[in-house]
Amino acid sequence: MSPTGTLKLIDRVTAINWNRLQDEKDLEVWDRLVGNFWLPEKVPVSNDIQSWHTLSDDEKLMTTRVFTGLTLLDTIQGTVGAVSLIPDALTPHEEAVYTNIAFMESVHAKSYSSIFSTLISTKEIDDAFAWSEANPNLQRKAEIVLEYYRGDDPLKRKVASTMLESFLFYSGFYAPMYWASRAKLTNTADLIRLIIRDEAVHGYYIGYKYQKGLAKLPQAEQDELKAYTFDLLFELYENEVEYTESLYGPLGLTEDVKKFLRYNANKALMNLGYEGLFPKDETDVNPAILAALSPNADENHDFFSGSGSSYVIGKAVETEDDDWDF
């Protein structure tokens, strides 16, 4: 079954015209991605060398393995994942956005290499890559996603891709946020935050395109895809839990990481247009991790639950927008 299989992008070569948009979201996201463009050279990771040497051997091992795992996922997304979405694109602008996403994933994969070469010896890097090739959960995660990328259903491909962008990276992203919360490897964390920011736009966009495609299908097929999405999430989640244990178990961090996983699993579902699955008390991310991710997230933006006596006005922010009239 390939509901949009008959939709071919072009049957003759057509030049891309950004002045005739079929979906304005394409240009909006393109502009956002271009505005967010960065390269790893701009982050002074070498300032973390001293900090790296304060880590215990177990901590170094965990961190190195985390980064090889992330490298593997970004390699998949850059060379197979985002590229596999291109033939399914409904507009030439959508194609262009995927090429941008694919390129940035390659930038991400290269960033991990620059972290490695700065902090770790060649021997340790080789050992970590050997570990990533032998770790069954990491390989399983890659297999599951690759299977859908090679499959023939464009919408399932988008689900798998959104899961990767919005969920599967986070068992890895936890580690640099953990170190940042302890004032360690802070430059590395700055670099990872740039990656995290990109993944948010990628997950949002691919999830949005999934929803656009979904809306064109009859209800029965929509229901089937929803069930498929949740099944896939469970399959990936179970695997993530084992993967997390293999990485963080020796440091006693597994339970803390699992909350972060579930929190992000919910966000992946939301990017696909579904409500979160895991309840509040299973997604209460350690406030230190959340603050490392977003210093703005732990500020009290809940005027409603207060007494009402405190009148919170947002802090002044200079905007670069020139079309405010006041």
Partner 1 sequence: MSSLVYFSSVSENTHRFVQRLGLEELGIGVHRIPVRRTDEFLRVDEPYVLMVPTYGGGNEGGAVPRRVREFLNDAHNRSFIRGVIAAGNTNFGAAYCIAGDIISAKCQVPYLYAFELLGTAEDARRVRDGLGRFWQRQSLISA
Give catalytic residue positions: 112
The backbone torsions φ and ψ at residue 278, rounded to the nearest 5 degrees and listed phi first, read -85, 135
What's the token pair of residue 227?
């069930």
As measured in angstroms, the least distance from the Cβ of 176 to partner 1 is 13
304 contributes a contact to partner 1 by CB under 8 A: yes
What's the token pair of residue 304?
């409603």
How far apart CA 49 and CA 187 sit, in angstroms, is: 10
Part in contact with partner 1 (CB under 8 A); list of ranges 13-21, 125-133, 152-160, 304-312: 304-312
318 contributes a contact to partner 1 by CB under 8 A: yes
The residue within the footprint of partner 1, chosen from 107, 146, 200, 232 (CB under 8 A), is 200
Query: In terms of Cα–Cα distance, which of 167, 268, 142 is closest to 210?
Result: 268
**Residue number with CB closer to partner 1 (52 or 170):** 170
Please compute Rg for the chain using Cα positions. 21
The residue within the footprint of partner 1, chosen from 42, 57, 295, 307 (CB under 8 A), is 295
Q: Decide: 72 and 141 in contact? Cβ < 8 Å.
A: no
Query: In terms of Cα–Cα distance, which of 192, 165, 145, 198 is closest to 270?
Result: 165
Q: Decide: 82 and 165 in contact? Cβ < 8 Å.
A: no
293 contributes a contact to partner 1 by CB under 8 A: yes
The residue within the footprint of partner 1, chosen from 22, 197, 231, 250 (CB under 8 A), is 197
Q: Using alpha carbons, list the distances in angstroms from residue 218 to 3, 215, 226, 248, 262.
A: 10, 8, 13, 44, 30
- Tell whether the torsion through CA atoms of 124, 125, 126 and 131 is positive or negative: positive
Number of residues that bind partner 1 (CB under 8 A): 52
How far apart CA 63 and CA 95 sit, in angstroms, is: 35
**Residue number with CB closer to partner 1 (66 or 269):** 269
Residues 8-37 that bind partner 1 (CB under 8 A): 23-25, 28, 32, 35-36
Ordered DSSP codes for 66-99? HHHHHHHHHHHIIIIIHHHHGGG-SSHHHHHHHH
216 contributes a contact to partner 1 by CB under 8 A: no
The backbone torsions φ and ψ at residue 295, rounded to the nearest 5 degrees and listed phi first, read -60, -15
186 contributes a contact to partner 1 by CB under 8 A: no
Residues 251-280 that bind partner 1 (CB under 8 A): 266-267, 270-271, 273, 275-276, 280
290 contributes a contact to partner 1 by CB under 8 A: yes
Part in contact with partner 1 (CB under 8 A); list of ranges 89-97, 129-137, 193-201, 219-227: 193-201
How far apart CA 202 and CA 143 sit, in angstroms, is: 21
Part in contact with partner 1 (CB under 8 A); list of ranges 111-119, 154-162, 227-235, 308-316: 308-316
Residues 81-140 that bind partner 1 (CB under 8 A): none
Site of interaction with partner 1 (CB under 8 A): 23-25, 28, 32, 35-36, 193-194, 196-197, 199-201, 204, 208, 211, 266-267, 270-271, 273, 275-276, 280, 290, 293-297, 301-305, 308, 311-321, 323-326
